[in-house]
Structure 1
C-alpha cells in the first residue's frame, strides 16, 4: 500500500490521502500530516496502515471532543451524537468516553447537576420540562430522580413560576381577567410548569390585589 497523492482541498484545511491511486481518508490539517509522518510515496503493510488509521482517527476525535468540552459540561449522549456526526467509529468513541470518564471530564451526574442549576438560575421553567430535557440528553432515571429530590421540589418550582410571571405582570394586568388568566396559564404551561403550580401563581401575582 502506497500513498500516491496528498491533496489539499480548496478553501478548507482538509487534506485528502490517496492510497494506490484511490481516495482513502482525510486529515484535518497539515499538523496531522506532520505528526504522523504522512507523505507522498510512503509505503505501508496493510496491518500497519490499519493501525495508523486508528491512531489518526483517535487523535482527530480527541481534538473534536476537547473543543466540545471546552464550552460546558456535556452528557455522554451529547458526545456520542457529536462524534457520530463527524463519522468517528463507535469503537473510537467508546474508547474516548472511557478515557475521559476516568479523568472525570465526562460525568453524567455532574453534567445534569450543572444543567439543572443553569436552568434554574438563567432559564426558569417547570420541573417537568427540566426532567424532559435531561432525558433528551441521555441522563438516567436514577440520576434524574436523585437530583430532582435535591433541586426540583414543588417549592422551587413555585418560586421559578413566580419569577417568570412577575416579568410579565405589567403586560398581563392590562388585560381583562379572563384573558389575563388564560394567557398567563398558557405561558407558564409552555414553560413546563404544572397546571396546579401555574394556577396558584397566577392567583397570587395577577389577582391577589383584586381580592
Structure 2
C-alpha cells in the first residue's frame, strides 16, 4: 500500500485526508499523521493501516460523536453526517453508530418525542412543520407519527388556540376585518398548524365571544 496523496481537509485545517493507491482511505488528525509518520509516496505497513483504521480512528470517531451528543440530543442521521464531515471511513462510522445505539446514546424515538414537545411547547410549531423538520433530520415517519398525531401526547388544536389568542393581543376576533383574519390565519399556517386545527381555533373563539 502506497500513500499517494495527503491533503488538508477543507473544513478543518488540523485534519488531513489520506489517499492510498490513489483512493481515499481515511481522515486523520494532524498530530496522529505526524506520530505515525504517514508520508506521501511512501508505503504504509498493513499492520499499521489496520491499527489506524480499527483502533485509532474508531476511538477518535467515538470521541467526536460523544462530544457532539454532549451538547444536546441528536438523530442518527445527524451523528452520521457529523462523522462524515471528519471523513471517517464508512465502516468506522457504522461501528460507532452500533455502539451508540446499543448504549442508547442514539435513539430516534426518544429524540423525536423530545423534539416534538420542544417545538410544540417552546416554539409553538404545528404538526406539519414538525413533521417536515423531523424528516429532514432523518427520523422515519413510522417512528414519530404515533406521537405527533396523538392528542394524549400533544394537543395541536389547543396550541393553535393559545397561539391565536396571543396573536390577537386581547382583541375580539369578531372585530377583525377579512384581511386581518387572513393574516392571522396565514401566520398559524406558516407555523405548521393544520387547517383543521386553525379552523377549530377560530370557531372556538367565535363561540366564546
Q: Is the TM-score greater than 0.5?
A: yes
Using structure 2 for the length normalisation, give the TM-score: 0.74
**What is the alpha-carbon distance in structure 2 between the residues aligned to residue 202 and residue 131 of structure 1?**
23
Correspondence list, 1:127-206, <5 A: 127-148=127-148, 149=150, 150-152=152-154, 156-170=155-169, 176-205=176-205
> What 5-or-longer segments of structure 1 have no aligned partner?
none
CA, structure 1 residues 130+18, in 2 after alignment: closer, same or farther (shift >3 Å)? Answer: closer
Q: Unmatched 5+ residue regions in structure 2?
A: none
SS in 1 for 2:71: coil
**Matches of 1:16 and 1:91 in 2, distance apart?**
16
Between the aligned partners of 1:40 and 1:141, the Cα distance in structure 2 is 45
Q: TM-score, normalised by structure 1?
A: 0.74
Residues matched between the structures, number = 199
Q: Which has the higher strand share?
A: 2
User: 1:160-179, CA deviations, whole angstroms, 9 ceiling, x for partnerless residues?
Assistant: 11222222212876984212
Contact 2:27/2:86 (CA < 8 Å) preserved in 1? no
- Give the C-alpha shift of residue 95 in structure 1: 0.4
> Would you identify which runs of 4 or more consecutive aligned residues in structure 1 move more than 4 Å?
11-19, 171-176
CA contact (8 A) 1:15 1:28 kept: yes
Residue 193 of structure 1, CA deviation: 0.9
> Match for residue 38 of structure 1?
36
Alignment-derived partner of residue 113 in structure 1: 113
Aligned-CA RMSD value: 3.7
Separation (CA, whole Å) in 2 of partners of 1:18 and 1:183: 57
Mapped contact 1:173–1:180 kept (Cα < 8 A)? no
Give a deviation string over 1:144-167, Cα, whole Å, max 9, x none.
233233524xxx001111222222
Distance 1:123 1:199 in 2: 20
- Provide Cα deviations, 1:29-82, integer angstroms capped at 9, x if missing partner: 64x469xx53589x852x113213314322332222112101111111111222
**Aligned counterparts of 1:28 and 1:44: Cα–Cα separation in 2:** 17
76-85 or 49-58, larger mean C-alpha shift: 49-58
